[in-house]
Amino acid sequence: MPLLPSQALIDEGDPPADLPVCDHYCGTEARMRKALALQAELGPVFDITLDCEDGAPIGAEAEHARLCADLALSADNRFGRVGARVHPVDHPAFQDDVDTLVGRAGDRLAYLMVPKPRHLADLQQAIAHIEHAARVHGRGAALPVHALVETHGALRDVQALAALPRVQSLSFGLMDFVSAHRGAIPQAAMGVPGQFEHPLVVRAKLEIAAACHGAGKVPSHCVVTEFKDEAAIAAAARRAAREFGYNRMWSIHPSQIGPIVEAFSPSVAEVDAAIAILLAAQAADWAPIRHQDVLHDRASYRYFWQVIGRARRTGQPLPAEALLAFYGDGALA
């Protein structure tokens, strides 16, 4: 029996996590429940991040964290793709956020997002407390950590942040990053197309993406605040995916989810070509082949296998022949 692509196309190091391409943030109870209902309708093509930082009313942080934990525990979390953002590590509510979320829902959470680390030590401290909470409560032992790169120090330490074993993804925090420059970066760089043109913002985006890819982690692109402008969100998502090397992107409004998923999806032509090349390679026992007068070997096979992975993560149907050939009998169950 021919080897499956996952058996034949072994790459160096562990592959990045197969995260959905969209990470949808919501903070109020009504919006969190609406997001869960939409995820049940569309399937796990996007993650939901329940926001305990900006979403929590001042003075009611503990109650909000309990609400987020209970929603993650509920039957509405159908796919196990619900995470939560906690307060920064130096905020008085940080430890309570972690203790509540891990203690009540640790094994049902997909990840915890840590915002605003000022440097490597901040993220290490946050992870140490998350691991302590998992030991104390007996839940969340394998809980991944995502982090926001939005300060000068975090960007300076980005390679070390990405190398931390528990870190699964790094996101770019555009708004705080621009604000940290105290007016040296104009407001236009917070919008589209300015955030893809200002050199300091472009540098930050590229350094984060490069660090993540070098460490086998998932780079997640920042928000687009023009949430009613579908053309703007679609253009930004395409540039993030095609030019800046991002595998994932934030949504801050339900209307942004569809354009993001579509922009990060391979085209039908790309999927068809990937299927044809991989089927021919598999038939040749993964030796080099010629396809439409172009030479392909395992280096390009790995690329086309990644195209198939993106197609599945974005909910694109694959022919039964390809599913059986690439994933075995279990894919058709």
Q: Distance between terminal CA atoms of the chain? A: 19
CATH number at residue 120: 3.20.20.60
pLDDT digits (tens, 9 = 90+) for 146-194: 999 999 999 999 999 999 999 999 999 999 999 999 999 999 999 999 9
Residues 209 and 255 in one domain: yes
- 11 annotated as ligand-binding: no
- 226 annotated as ligand-binding: no
Tokens of 136: 């104390």
pLDDT digits (tens, 9 = 90+) for 48-58: 999 999 999 99
**Whole domain around residue 191: which residue ranges?**
22-264
pLDDT digits (tens, 9 = 90+) for 316-332: 999 999 999 999 975 54
Residues 149 and 292 in one domain: no
Residues 214 and 141 in one domain: yes
Q: How far is CA 9 from CA 104, 260, 286, 315, in A?
A: 40, 28, 9, 23
Residues 274 and 171 in one domain: no
Among 264, 283, 301, which residue terminates a domain? 264
Separation of alpha carbons 289 and 301, rounded Å: 10
**Is 316 inside a domain boundary?**
yes
Q: How many independent structural domains does the chain possess?
A: 2
Residues 159 and 77 in one domain: yes
pLDDT at position 65 is 98
In sequence order, what are the residues at sequence separation of 6 or more whose Cβ sits closer than 8 angstroms to the Cβ of residue 177?
149, 150, 151, 155, 201, 204
- 176 annotated as ligand-binding: yes
Residues 203 and 295 in one domain: no
pTM given for the model? 0.94
Separation of alpha carbons 10 and 4, rounded Å: 11
Among 264, 280, 304, which residue terminates a domain? 264
Q: Are 130 and 96 in contact (CB under 8 A)?
A: no
Determine phi and psi for 118, rounding to 5 degrees: -85, -15
Residues 182 and 280 in one domain: no
